[in-house]
Amino acid sequence: MRLDHLAIAVPDLDAALAFYRDGLGLTCARVEDVEREGVRIAFLPVGESEIELLQPTRQDTGIVKWLAKHGPGMHHVCLEVGDIQAAMARIQRAGGEMINPEPVRRPEGTLYAFVHPRSTGGVLIELYQRPPQP
Amino acid sequence: MRLDHLAIAVPDLDAALAFYRDGLGLTCARVEDVEREGVRIAFLPVGESEIELLQPTRQDTGIVKWLAKHGPGMHHVCLEVGDIQAAMARIQRAGGEMINPEPVRRPEGTLYAFVHPRSTGGVLIELYQRPPQP
């Protein structure tokens, strides 16, 4: 298992980059607009992990409601697993509660599913399985 | 730079371990009582990082107040840096605000300093410099 990324929700991506890039000295590998999720994401590698800064780009998304309720902060932590079905089954055997009852497939082939913060000590955890490499 | 650990504050360490160890399948490398900080910490390695679960063991600590205010959740993120003085100077040049104006030394020689969440998009960030290896 590997800590894939930490996702930090912010209202202003440029202000956040002033800290993470200029202040911490991380490299911003790329900035992506993910239209279907209504977010602009800056990806900053840190060792084998990444920090992702998420800024909403539409007003009708969950991340906007989350920001209005919590203010800026850690939105979720993503762990890469080898076999997401096996990981989900193990969590459920241990009494953990999945938000997604089945893995969801992103267009590029990644499978993901979120664990409810009730089960994790208050942290929204994403499980993530990469697509098989060709 | 490396993501050293994620610290998650929980009221009940055993319940949290039921998820992180039994549910996620992580190994609990050790559990330590840190008397001077009033916490019991479970350390669970994940790749090159660790998840630390913190449970208060006294009622007069900051972590108790934090839990009362926020409920269980992500308390801070720790980044290992090579030169903490240089890292702090760079953050301050970029307009970031340190909670500790000077690095603090732990008994085992580690230096640490916290960056204020106002500067980081709402995340309490610890910088950490290991002691020189003998």
d(CA A122, CA B16): 10
Q: What is the ipTM of this complex?
A: 0.93
pTM of the model: 0.94
Phi, psi angle pair for B85, to nearest 5°: -65, -45
Average pLDDT over residues B67-78: 96
Do B72 and B8 contact (CB within 8 A), yes or no?
yes
Residues within 8 A of A (CB atoms), B 97-116 only: none
Task: Note down pLDDT in tens along chain A; length 134 residues.
Answer: 999 999 999 999 999 999 999 999 999 999 999 998 899 999 999 999 999 999 999 999 989 999 999 999 999 999 999 999 999 999 999 999 999 999 999 988 999 999 999 999 999 999 999 988 76
Q: How far apart are CA B111 and CA B103, in angstroms?
A: 6
Q: A124 at the B interface (CB within 8 A)?
A: no
Of the partner residues A16, A77, A87, the one whose CB lies closest to the CB of residue B121: A16
Q: Mapped to the 3 state alphabet, what secondary structure does B103-125 carry?
A: CEECCCCCEEEEECHHHCCCCCE
Contact residues on chain A for B56, CB-CB shorter than 8 A: none
Chain B residues within an 8 Å CB radius of A119: 19, 23
A18 touches chain B (CB under 8 A): yes
Q: Which residue of A has its CA nearest to B9?
A: A121
Question: Is residue B26 within 8 angstroms of chain A, CB to CB?
Answer: yes
Is residue B91 less than 8 Å (CB to CB) from chain A? yes
Enumerate the residues of chain B whose CB falls inside 8 A of the CB of residue A71: 122
- Predicted pLDDT at B97: 97
Contact B46 A79 (CB under 8 A): yes
**What are the tens digits of pLDDT across the range B26-60?**
999 999 999 988 999 999 999 999 999 999 999 99
pLDDT for A133: 75
Cβ A54 vs Cβ A74: under 8 Å: no
- Domains in chain B (CATH in brackets) are 1-74 (3.10.180.10), 81-134 (3.10.180.10)
A67 touches chain B (CB under 8 A): no
pLDDT tens digits for B9-20? 999 999 999 999
Q: Is the pLDDT of residue B133 over 90?
A: no
**Does A69 contact chain B (CB < 8 Å)?**
no
Contact at CB, B48 and A47, closer than 8 angstroms: yes
> How long is chain B?
134
B94, HSE (Cβ side, Cα atoms, 13 Å): 23
* pLDDT score of B118: 95
Which pLDDT does position A16 carry in this prediction?
96
Q: What angle do CA A46, A52, A55 make, to 5 degrees?
A: 155
| Candidates A8, A46, A91; nearest CB to B123 | A8
**How many residues comprise chain A?**
134
pLDDT value at B96 more than 90 = yes
Q: How far is B133 from chain A (nearest CA, A)?
A: 21
Q: Which of B92, B85, B78, B81 is nearest to B4 (CA)?
A: B78
Average pLDDT taken over every residue of chain B: 95
The per-residue b/e assignment along A77-108, b for 16 or more CB within 10 angstroms, e otherwise, is: bbbbbeebeebbebbeebebebebeebeeeee
Neighbouring-strand partners of residue A29? none
Q: What is the model's pLDDT at position A2?
A: 95
Arithmetic mean of pLDDT, B67-95:
96
What pLDDT is attached to residue B36? 87
